[in-house]
Structures are given as structure tokens and as C-alpha cells.
Structure 1
Amino acid sequence: MGTTPKENWSILIVDDQLGVRRLLFEALKDEFMAVYTAGSGIEAIEQVQECNPDLVVMDMKMPRMNGLEVLKTLRQMKYDNPVIMMTAYGELEIVSEAAKMGVKKHITKPFDLKELRVLIKETLKETSIA
């Protein structure tokens, strides 16, 4: 596993559940140049300002500041890198609202880690061509 070169991209994982953040960090840290985590919307905004990740994977349902509010703030800050939304089954209104703010990809919880890895890499490759 250690012989596989890392992708030269940075990822920010945003989820209020520590277990989800740890799981995704562990699953992705060996594949990408940098994997950052944030446990709240405020932390996510701070991390984007500090690290400017190539992609954000963000839960939409979080206390205090939900994913749509974070997304709106990021877009106001001119952060135009791709965002992959994590949603619960049946949250079509959230997916629709996020799409209006430029989110093209989402994954429904619970999801398969392999599926998420593929989605992340496809999204990053699509945007790096543009």
C-alpha cells in the first residue's frame, strides 16, 4: 500500500460526527497529498481560508450552520473548487438547492468508501482538465 503514489490534491472533510471524520480521514490520507477535517461549518470556512483545499466533502446536516449555509459563505468568498455533498436518503430539496450553488456531485449516507474515492477522483480529474 505504501508504494502507491499519492494524488497531488488536498481534500477537506466536513462532518459534525467525529466518527465519520476519522473514518474518512483514515480512508483517504494515504491517497491524497493532504486531508484536512472540520467538525463544524465555522471550522470548514476557517480551513478553506487557511488551506484552500482542491475539493470539499461536506455533510449537509450539521448543527448551528448547515452545509448549505457553509456553501453559500464559501461561494461568497469566491471559493469555486468542487464540493461533494453528503446527504441522507431523500433529501432532494437540499440536493436541488446545492446544485443552484454549483454543486454537481453528491453521495447518500450511508455510502461505500470505494464509491466515495471514485467520486472524489473523478470530480478532481474533471475540474483539473477545465
Structure 2
Amino acid sequence: MIVVGGDEPLKKKLLVVDDQVGIRILLLEVFATEGYETFQAANGRIALEIARSHPIDLVLLDMKIPGMDGLEILKQLKQYDPDIKVIMMTAYGELDMINQATDMGAVMHFTKPFDIDEMRLAVNLQMGQGTATRFVGNS
């Protein structure tokens, strides 16, 4: 963990991108209690603004967002920061979109409704606590 000036360790930063406010609130509460600095965005424009102004470590990204879909957001996030980790979330389980997201650098995907404990484990593993399997969910 990185320590600045002997004070508190720097918190890892997590961005939740979903147009459903209930999902964002749930994930923010869960991951704030895990010790992460959490951010939220309801659309792609806000997500990209946050990613440009904060060094985000991991993004939980919904595939189906009005305006700019998850694949376009993923593409732009990776252009800005090729090392950013992205876990995709989908209620649709569309295999072609999941494969495209993986090809574009997404590390995992979850199918909604997901098990919050599996999501917590996957995020903690991706944030440096070990390794996780590529796909988790109901697909």
C-alpha cells in the first residue's frame, strides 16, 4: 500500500457507472465499507470526466447505458488509461458484447442480478489482493 508522508495509506479508487441509481448506491455503500474511495456516474460523459480528473484503479461499468453504451465508455477509458481495470455488468448476458468487452480489455463481467459477495471478492482481487477468474455470473 502507498503511504504519503507517514500518514494514512492512499485509498484505491473505484468508479461505479450505471444508469440505475439503486445499483450505484448499493455498490458505493459496499465498496466504501471495503475501504475504497468511491465515485459514481449515471452516464458515459460523467464517467469519463471523473476518470480524467482522478486516477481511478477500477471501474464497474454497466453495458447498457442510454446515450453512450458501455463498450464506447470502455473504449474511451482504455484510450485515456490503458492500465485501468474494468469489470462489466450486464442484465442481458449478450455474448457478443461480452466478447467485445473482453477483447477491448475488460477483466471480468457480471450478469445482473449478481451476488454482491462475489462482486466484493472480484473487486478486492482485482485491486491487488490476488487473482480472479475471468468470468463470473449467470451466463
Task: Report what 2:58 is aligned to.
Answer: 55
Q: Give the secondary-structure state (helix, strand or coil) at the position aligned to 2:33.
A: coil
Task: Report what 1:120 is aligned to.
Answer: 123
- More displaced, 37-46 or 23-32? 23-32
For the 8 Å contact 1:55–1:83, the answer to whether it is kept is: yes
For the 8 Å contact 1:40–1:62, the answer to whether it is kept is: yes
Larger RCO (CA within 8 A; separation ≥ 6): 1
Matched, 1:13 2:16: yes
Tell me the number of residue pairs that the alignment of Structure 1 and Structure 2 aligns. 122
- Structure 1 stretches of 4+ with a deviation exceeding 2 A read none
Specify which of 26, 30, 38 is matched with residue 41 of structure 2. Answer: 38
Identity of aligned residues (%): 43
| TM-score of the two chains, using structure 2 as the length reference | 0.81
Q: How far 1:102 sits from its partner (Å)?
A: 1.0
- Partners of 2:37 and 2:12 in 1: how far apart? 7
- More displaced, 105-114 or 26-35? 26-35
| TM-score of the two chains, using structure 1 as the length reference | 0.86
Specify which of 60, 63, 67 is matched with residue 64 of structure 1. Answer: 67
For the 8 Å contact 1:54–1:81, the answer to whether it is kept is: yes
- Partners of 1:122 and 1:24 in 2: how far apart? 16
Specify which of 90, 95, 100 is matched with residue 98 of structure 2. Answer: 95
Distance 1:28 1:102, change over 3 A: same
Higher strand share: 1
Instruction: Could you tell me which runs of 5 or more consecutive residues in structure 2 were left unpaired when the two chains were aligned.
Output: 1-8, 132-139
Q: Give the secondary-structure state (helix, strand or coil) at the position aligned to 2:110.
A: strand
For the 8 Å contact 1:15–1:21, the answer to whether it is kept is: yes
